[in-house]
Amino acid sequence: MSDFWTPRVRCLDPYVPGEQPQDQQYIKLNTNENPYPPSPAVAKALKACDSARLRLYPDPESTALRAELARRFRLDPAQVFVGNGSDEVLAQAFQAFFQRPEPLFFPAISYSFYPVYCRLYGIEARPLPLRGDFEIDTDDYRGECGGVILPNPNAPTGRLLPLDAIERLCRQQPQRVVIVDEAYIDFGGDSAAALLPRHPNLLVIQTFSKSRSLAGLRLGYALGSTELIEGLNRVKNSFNSYPVDSLAQIAAVASLQDEAWFDDCRQRIIATRERCAEALGRLGFRVLPSAANFLFARPPGGNAGELYRTLKARGILLRHFATPELDAWLRITIGTDDDMERLLDSLAELLD
């Protein structure tokens, strides 16, 4: 604690990202990164860049990138907002829509950045308990609130809500913004972007970090009514007019133009996930159904923390959340078939 800190900074409880160890090579299955490289079109576009152009500011509106995203989702470019990672887009959305006297509804088990933003922006958080098997019941999201946010598929459970449930949430809160954080939607769900024409209060947020193998690029985006996008632009232009750098804009457009690469990578991850879920089941794990690029699984015997540490010592990193509700579980990012083979071999040995 420092006396120089403002009262708000003293109260912060910052987000702790998954480990990014710089010391040794791990089989890294802890932060939901994609095991495959981005489209070769990205490298080609970056190599063609003239570094002299970096003396200029980037296009503050990311016009070409927003046009490409609009085309992909059959929206008007005025319905697309881009930012420096979806975490930043989320932060802007919290300021634009959720700073209200009423509490923000979100699932008690979900992305742990949401309560962090609530503290930062002075928003009352109202985490709503999940039902059996970590299911979300949309009936719990009725009543007075300042807004609703949830990941779909949920993190860290991987469980998917169907689009009719998302639509119910939008209908239940017509005066409030409902944000669906679709960081993992490309691994097995239908995007709520399809509901945008009917629901002006819906904001869909996606990222290039997971399904497009570009976590290092830091690029996320929001899709919504022009009204909501204008709100985001008001916040952005009161904070940083140039959040997305020129290289990121170029690389992202190249990624979007190679649909075949994108489809191939995600199909491979989905296939690996299904094989891995079965194999974990045979080892006695309880595995939740997942529509994401990770599995949420409870090892036999229940000592997930110890298993996490033993695997780390063997060079395999998983994610373990040491909270009362999640302590018995492990979140396992889907890597290559080879990565998963090595994980399964180690587990078979340790659990023998």
Ligand X SMILES: *Cc1c(COP(=O)(O)O)cnc(C)c1O
Q: Should residue 243 be labelled a site residue for ligand X when binding is judged by CB under 6 A?
A: no
Q: 317: part of which helix (H) or strand (E)?
A: strand 316-317
Among 68, 87, 167, 186, binds ligand X (CB under 6 A): 87
> With respect to ligand X, which residue has the nearer C-beta, 290 or 347?
290
Task: Please identify, using beta-carbon distances, which residue of 177 and 347 lies nearer to ligand X.
Answer: 177
188 belongs to the binding site for ligand X (CB under 6 A): no
What distance in Å separates the CA atoms of residue 295 and residue 318, rounded to the nearest whole number?
11
Q: Does 232 bind ligand X (CB under 6 A)?
A: no
Which among 78, 80, 91, 142 is positioned nearest to 118, based on CA atoms?
91
Tokens of 17: 């990202």
State yes or no: residue 62 binds ligand X (CB under 6 A). no
Give Cα 276 distance to the centre of its chain.
22
Binding of ligand X at residue 151 (CB under 6 A)?
yes
Burial class (CB in 10 A: 0-12, 13-18, 19+), 268: middle
Which range binds ligand X by CB under 6 A, 84-92, 186-194, 322-330, 338-346?
84-92
Whole-number minimum distance, CB 112 to ligand X, in Å? 9
- Asked whether position 111 contacts ligand X by CB under 6 A, the answer is yes
Strand boundaries in 225-293, DSSP class E: 286-287
| Of 116 and 254, CB closest to ligand X | 116
Of 181 and 339, which has the nearer Cβ to ligand X?
Answer: 181
209 binds ligand X (CB under 6 A): yes
**Taken in order 301, 303, 306, 311, is the CA torsion positive or negative?**
positive
Stretch that binds ligand X, among 170-178, 207-215, 273-281, 318-326 (CB under 6 A): 207-215
Q: Is 39 in the site for ligand X (CB under 6 A)?
A: no
191 is a site residue for ligand X (CB under 6 A): no
Whole-angstrom distance, CA of residue 311 vs CA of residue 274: 22
Residue 347 tokens read as 């587990």
Count of residues binding ligand X (CB under 6 A)? 12
User: CA 199, CA 167: separation in Å to the nearest integer?
Assistant: 8
Q: Which is nearer to ligand X, 95 or 347 (CB)?
A: 95
Q: Is 86 in the site for ligand X (CB under 6 A)?
A: yes
Residue type, 72: R
Other C-beta atoms closer than 10 Å to the C-beta of 339 total 18
Which span (56-64, 83-91, 253-261, 334-342) binds ligand X, by CB under 6 A?
A: 83-91
Residue 153 in contact with residue 290, Cβ under 8 Å? yes
Task: Report the largest interatomic distance among the alpha carbons of the chain, rounded to a whole angstrom.
Answer: 60
- Supply 310's token pair: 């033993």
Q: Please select the residue that binds ligand X; options are 215, 235, 279, 283, rule is CB under 6 A.
A: 215
Shorter beta-carbon distance to ligand X: residue 191 or 207: 207
The answer to whether 146 contacts ligand X (rule: CB under 6 A) is no
The amino acid occupying position 98 is F
CB of 183 to ligand X, least distance (A): 4
- C-beta atoms surrounding 3 within 10 Å: 5
Binding site for ligand X (CB under 6 A): 85-87, 111, 151, 155, 181, 183, 207, 209, 215, 220
